[in-house]
Amino acid sequence: MSVTDDLLVDVAALAVELAGAEPAAPTVLDVRWRLNGPPGRADYDAGHLPGAAFVDLDTELCGVPGAGGRHPLPDPETLQRALRAAGVRAGHPVVVYDGGDGLAATRAWWTLRWAGHHAVRVLDGGYPAWVAAGHPVTAAVPTPVPGDLTVRPGGLPVLAAEDAAALAAGDGVLLDVRAAARYLGETEPIDPVAGHVPGAVNLPTTEHIGADGRLRAADALRSRFAEAGVEPGVRVGAYCGSGVTAAHTVFALHLAGRGDAALYVGSWSHWLTDPDRPVATGSGT
C-alpha cells in the first residue's frame, strides 16, 4: 500500500468498498463545514453518502473557542462520545469527506489520528466528486451501531506556542499557510491583529491544490515544500488562523512523506491571546 492509498481514497474505490460486506465496509463521516457558516448540517440533511453520519467540526471535532484559540483541541471525552455515536470502532477503517475543498476533511483526519485512530482516509474530491461520478446520495439519516473507539490523545505531534516560536527562530521551519496578505499584515478579516509569527515562512495551502481542485501529486508537493526550506531531517510545523487550514497542509506534508509534521492547533488565534508574543509584518522575518 502506498502512502497515498493510506491517506486518500477515490470515489470509485470507496463505492466498491461500500458495496462490499457490511462488517468490512468503512465507516463514513460527513464533516461538511464553512468557516463563516452556515453550519454543514443543512447540506448533510439535503443529501449525503448512504450510511454516512454527520459530525460537526465546530462543536464535536474541536473544543470550545477561547484561550486555546478558535478551533482548539477537543475535550477527549466529548470527542469520544461523538465518534462512538457516529459508529467509529477501534481499528475499523473510517473515510471522511467534506464539500470538496478538503479543509474540514483533513482537520477531521488529523483529529482522528491525533486521537489514536489511524485507519482513516480522506475522500478525494469530497461530496462533489461522489455526485459527479453518478453515485447515489440520500437524505435518510442512519442510526449507526454505536462504536467503541477509545480516544487516546497524542497520535500526531502538536505544537505549543513556544514550540512554534522555536521552529520559526531556526530550530526548523514553521509554515504560515494563510493567504499572503494576512501573513504580511496587510489585512486580517477574522483575528484582531494582522501579521505573523516572527521567522515563519509563508506557504499558502492553496499552493498545494492543482488545477483540478485536488491536492497535487506527492513529488510536486515535496518540491514545493523543499523550496520553502522543508528538507529531510528539518523539523516542520504549520499554522493558520485557527488550525483548520493548517491541518490541510499537514495532510499534504504526510502525502509528501513527512509524517512527523506538527500542527500548531491554536494557530494565530491562540498566538494573539498573549499580548507579549511578538508579531511580525511584511516580507521580512
Per-residue pLDDT tens over the stretch 158-214: 999 999 999 999 999 999 999 999 999 999 999 999 999 999 999 999 999 988 889
**Integer CA distances (angstroms), 262 to 87, 110, 258, in order:** 28, 10, 10
Q: What pLDDT is recorded for position 49?
A: 98
Once rounded to an integer, what is the mean pLDDT over residues 225-249? 97
Distance CA 30, CA 82 (A): 13
User: Does this model's pTM top 0.85?
Assistant: yes
Q: Which of 46, 24, 14, 57 is nearest to 137 (CA)?
A: 46
Active-site position among 61, 156, 179, 240: 240
Grid cell for residue 18: 461500500
CATH architecture of 3-132: 3-Layer(aba) Sandwich (3.40)
Q: Which of 148, 155, 129, 127 is nearest to 52 (CA)?
A: 127
- Determine the straight-line distance between the first and last CA of the chain, rounded to whole angstroms: 40
What are the backbone dihedrals phi and psi of residue 176, each rounded to the nearest 5 degrees, phi first? -95, 115
Name the CATH superfamily for 161-271: Rhodanese-like domain (3.40.250.10)
CATH 3.40.250.10 in the chain, residues?
3-132, 161-271
Does 240 participate in catalysis according to the annotation?
yes
